[in-house]
Amino acid sequence: MDKFLNNSEIQTTVYALGSFLLLSILYIITTYALRKLGANPKYLIPKDSIKKVGVPLFLLFFAFWIRSQSLQTILGVEDFSFVIRKTSTLLIIGCITWLILVALKVTKKLVIQNYDVQATDNLKARKIYTQFNILERIFIVLVVLLAIAAALMSFESIREVGISLFASAGVAGIIVGFSAQKMIGTILAGIQIAITQPIKIDDVVIVEGEWGRIEEITLTYVVIAIWDKRRLIVPTPYFIEKPFQNWTKSSADIMGTVFIHTDYHVPFDKLREELTRILEGTDLWDGKVNVLQVTDAKERSVEIRALMSASDSPTAWDLRVLVREKLITYLQENYPESLPHTRLYIKNMDEAKDGKEEKSKK
């Protein structure tokens, strides 16, 4: 027994197998616990997300195992110990970064699935969705940069070069700052949009005279889906520096207006009754606002404004089109004399001659 314990080769093998067995048990316990969390509705962790963790976890435990000196002795690769350790370090950094990004994706999915962006009153859902989208991109960039920095700093030579360059970093930083100030300003504008939220995903906006919905918000640009299926790409600083219209900033409901020009003979009360009948006969109206007003009187026509409300801007547009068509049809069929027309008065020729003779006598 003493001879067995004093045998260095046997000890090395035992240590290598023991470390492999220990790490295997830890891996099995971890994956089993995660599967249980995924199967339990109480925790609401998606099963597909649990599967994504399996590969980086396996590689992480494998990276710890190959660092074992006993394994290197058994395999006879002690001369490559430095390379194996560095490879293991890089693999550990990569796996940890991978796990953090997976955890971020899972967290985002768990939070967003509680909010329905497609709902009619989706203001809160759009706020959460916008913040998570932008902050997720910021977090991913930071994690990847930190991972690259940690990987590079694991090499002594690179670390020494970094320390030697630290003294000149101030001057270099100023130069880079001036050359990249536009890019930095764009990124900061993206972060500001995520925090202050002048725009959100699915907001209805008018930018550069174009009506559309916010389709995507990144750190550097915003994609607006125009009503005719075009896409307007706008840099993020635009929404910080320039004025624009946001029709759904605080709520989705919106007022719609229809202007009609008529003759002075138009019966206003009858037109109000017809507007009410039209609105009550369509599901586009939300039942809140129903107003008909005379907003202007010109020498040849009267300007009438019909004001109505709808649950959102696309519905308001359809409602305006419907009301305009129905009111014009109503006037054509019932009060054609109320439509705008030009009056021309022609005097009798005899009366005109008498008038001229009287003027000549005078």
163-218: pLDDT as tens digits: 554 445 455 555 555 555 677 777 788 888 877 888 888 888 999 989 898 988 88
> What is the pLDDT confidence band of residue 34, given thresholds at 50, 70 and 90?
low
């009366």: which residue's tokens? 351
Helix/strand number for the chain, H first, E second = 13, 8
Burial class for 316, CB neighbours closer than 10 Å (0-12, 13-18, 19+) = buried
pLDDT at 109: 76
- Judge if pTM exceeds 0.75: no
d(CA 243, CA 190): 16
DSSP 8-state secondary structure symbol assigned to residue 309: E
Question: Residue range 253-280: average pLDDT?
Answer: 90
Q: Which residues pair with 261 in a beta bridge?
A: 303
Would you say 83 and 51 are in contact if contact means Cβ atoms under 8 Å apart? no
pLDDT of residue 305: 93
Which H or E run contains 13?
Answer: helix 8-39
290-297 and 302-310 strand pairing: antiparallel
> Which of 73 and 337 is assigned the larger pLDDT?
337
Looking at residue 170, its pLDDT comes to 53
Yes or no: say if 56 and 99 are a contact pair by the CB < 8 Å rule: yes
Distances (CA, A) of 208 to 114, 212, 243, 245: 34, 11, 10, 10
Residue 51's pLDDT band, with cuts at 50, 70 and 90, is: low
Q: Average of pLDDT values for 102-128? A: 71
E strand or H helix at 251, and its extent? none
Instruction: Specify the pLDDT at position 271.
Output: 93
Q: How confident is the model at residue 319 (pLDDT cuts 50, 70, 90)?
A: very high
Give the list of residues 6+ apart from residue 305 with CB closer than 8 angstroms, or none.
Answer: 257, 258, 259, 292, 293, 294, 295
Local structure of residue 339 (DSSP, 8 states): S
* In the block, residue with structure tokens 């054509």: 332
Q: How confident is the model at residue 146, as a pLDDT?
A: 82
pLDDT at residue 120, rounded to an integer = 58
> What local confidence, expressed as pLDDT, does residue 44 receive?
47
DSSP labels, 273-305: HHHHHHHHT-TT--SS-EEEEEEEE-SS-EEEE
Bridge partners, 257 (sequence order): 307
Q: Which CATH class is domain 119-250?
A: mainly beta
Nearest to 50 by CA among 59, 40, 64, 65: 40
Fold assignment, 254-338: Alpha-Beta Plaits (3.30.70)
- Annotated domain spans of the chain: 1-114, 119-250, 254-338
Residue 347 C-beta-side C-alpha neighbours within 13 Å: 8
Name the DSSP class of 184. H
Q: For the chain, give the mean pLDDT.
A: 75
Task: Please report the pLDDT score of residue 88 as a whole number.
Answer: 80
